[in-house]
């Protein structure tokens, strides 16, 4: 493999581990954790939401450090933090250690998920990082597909505590070497004096930053809401429980297929085109479910998954294309603050909407998708105006 391919594979594997052992952990372990600790399942999810809030708060500082010193050591440190948080979860005998474990994992999430990986690639490859960003999302797109069955098997055979200990060990034995030994040091050189932004140019970035932050926030909200409630929604639409689970499982393959499309075809175009296509996919599919119900449920899942897959890439490539690689890490951290808060609120907020409106709750998520499209159109108009 070329050096660049090796970096993509190493980051793709470590990101699969990072997402699968943290973000996707509650889907399998929340119920047994709550049962054994004598807590409500909602308490476990509340602790998980607190981890997302911690990651949001840390994001800008982590991004600034990656801009200055590269991402290798930050990613390596995240492996240690993830391991510590998982050990604390495994040792939990009540609410205190449960919350402590998730708060530590939140620190790791602020250091070691996509934003840090994307910033590391921007430091290494500059504007040419779009391909590598797509590459690691292709690999890490299988995080739930790979890690959910492993977590489920570990829980069934050895208990949820040992499942946490096992994932902690994997972070130390696999994630840490991948991040520390196979990721080279690299930061972008300072911009030439002639390319340094004036105060007026710097002030003009507030509108595209605000628009991107809005787009990322609403799309992460919808993505997290669907991840938490998609099987339930499909049952309300008329599918049996087994059919709903089978249909919901198509999200992963749809994400990967869409990322392959981005890698092979859409990469020739500006990432704004990919993002616009992606944000309308969910509303189109939702319209079918709301009007015709079960017959179009699978199409809805495929469209939602495809859009979500491309949006994950757009979160890395849009800031790179619009602002360039200089200061990329800090911008990523700032842009993801509202998105992480949206993620933290999404499961509860959308559950309340479904209880009240059933499948018509998709009107709300569709409206968010259309609002994101409007924001992207305004962003495109602004970019064209600046170019002229």
Q: Are 368 and 222 in contact (CB under 8 A)?
A: yes
Please write the tens of the pLDDT for every residue from 206-233.
889 999 999 999 999 999 888 778 887 8
Tell me which residue has tokens 């450090």: 65
CA angle 149, 59, 332 (to 5 degrees): 95
Higher pLDDT, residue 264 or 58: 58
134 CB-near residues (< 8 Å, 6+ apart)? 259, 262, 263, 267, 313, 317
pLDDT at residue 1, as a whole number = 47
Comparing 195 with 192, the larger pLDDT belongs to 192
For residue 62, count CB atoms less than 10 angstroms from its CB and return exposed for 0-12, middle for 13-18, buried for 19 or more.
Answer: buried
pLDDT band at 388 (very low <50, low <70, confident <90, very high): low
Which pLDDT value is given to residue 2? Answer: 54
- Convert the pLDDT of each residue in 24-83 to its tens digit: 888 788 889 999 999 988 888 889 989 989 999 999 999 999 999 999 999 999 999 999
Neighbours of 145 (CB within 10 A): 17
Q: What pLDDT does residue 284 have?
A: 95
Task: Please give the C-alpha separations between residue 177 and each of 11, 78, 147, in angstroms, as whole numbers.
Answer: 11, 12, 19
96-128 residue pLDDT tens:
999 999 999 999 999 999 999 999 999 999 989
State the first-to-last Cα distance of the chain, in angstroms, to the nearest integer. Answer: 42
Confidence of residue 204 (pLDDT cuts 50, 70, 90): low
Question: What was the pLDDT predicted at 202?
Answer: 52
Average pLDDT over residues 237-265: 84
What is the mean predicted confidence (pLDDT) over 312-337? 90
The answer to whether residues 65 and 329 touch, using CB atoms and an 8 Å cutoff, is yes
Pick from 376, 381, 3: nearest CA to 184: 3
- Res. 143 pLDDT band, cuts 50 70 90: confident
As a whole number, the mean pLDDT across the chain is 89
> What is the pLDDT, as a whole number, of residue 362?
94
pLDDT of residue 248: 82
Record the pTM.
0.85
């Amino acid at each position: 493999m070329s050096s660049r391919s090796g970096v993509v594979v190493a980051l793709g594997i470590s990101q699969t581990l990072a997402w699968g052992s943290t973000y996707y952990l509650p889907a399998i372990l929340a119920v047994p954790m709550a049962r054994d600790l004598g807590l409500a399942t909602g308490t476990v999810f509340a602790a998980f939401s607190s981890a997302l809030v911690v990651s949001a708060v840390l994001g800008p500082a982590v991004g600034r450090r990656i801009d200055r010193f590269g991402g290798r050591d930050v990613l390596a440190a995240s492996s240690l933090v993830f391991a510590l948080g998982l050990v604390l979860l495994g040792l939990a005998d009540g609410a205190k250690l449960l919350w402590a474990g998730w708060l530590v994992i939140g620190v790791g999430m602020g250091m070691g998920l996509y934003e840090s990986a994307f910033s590391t690639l921007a430091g290494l490859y500059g504007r040419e990082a779009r391909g590598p960003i797509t590459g690691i999302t292709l690999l890490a797109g299988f995080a739930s597909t790979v890690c959910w069955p492993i977590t489920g098997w570990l829980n069934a055979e050895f208990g949820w505590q040992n499942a946490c200990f096992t994932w902690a060990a994997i972070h130390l034995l696999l994630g840490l070497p991948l991040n520390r030994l196979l990721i080279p040091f690299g930061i972008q050189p300072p911009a030439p004096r002639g390319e340094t932004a004036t105060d007026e140019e710097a002030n003009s970035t507030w509108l595209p930053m605000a628009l991107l932050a809005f787009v990322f926030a609403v799309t992460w909200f919808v993505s997290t809401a669907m991840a938490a409630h998609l099987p339930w929604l499909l049952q309300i639409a008329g599918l049996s429980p087994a059919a709903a689970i089978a249909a919901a499982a198509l999200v992963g393959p749809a994400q990967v297929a869409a990322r392959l499309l981005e890698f092979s075809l859409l990469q020739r175009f500006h990432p704004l085109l990919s993002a616009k296509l992606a944000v309308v996919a969910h509303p189109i599919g939702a319209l079918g479910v709301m009007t015709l119900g079960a017959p179009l449920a699978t199409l809805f899942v495929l469209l939602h998954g495809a859009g979500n897959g491309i949006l994950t890439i757009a979160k890395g490539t849009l800031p790179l294309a619009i602002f360039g690689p200089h200061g990329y890490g800090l911008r990523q951290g700032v842009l993801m603050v509202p998105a992480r808060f949206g993620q933290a609120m999404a499961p509860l907020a959308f559950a309340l909407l479904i209880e009240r409106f059933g499948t018509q709750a998709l009107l709300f998520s569709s409206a968010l998708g259309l609002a994101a499209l409007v924001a992207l159109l305004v962003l495109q108009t602004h970019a064209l105006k600046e170019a002229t």
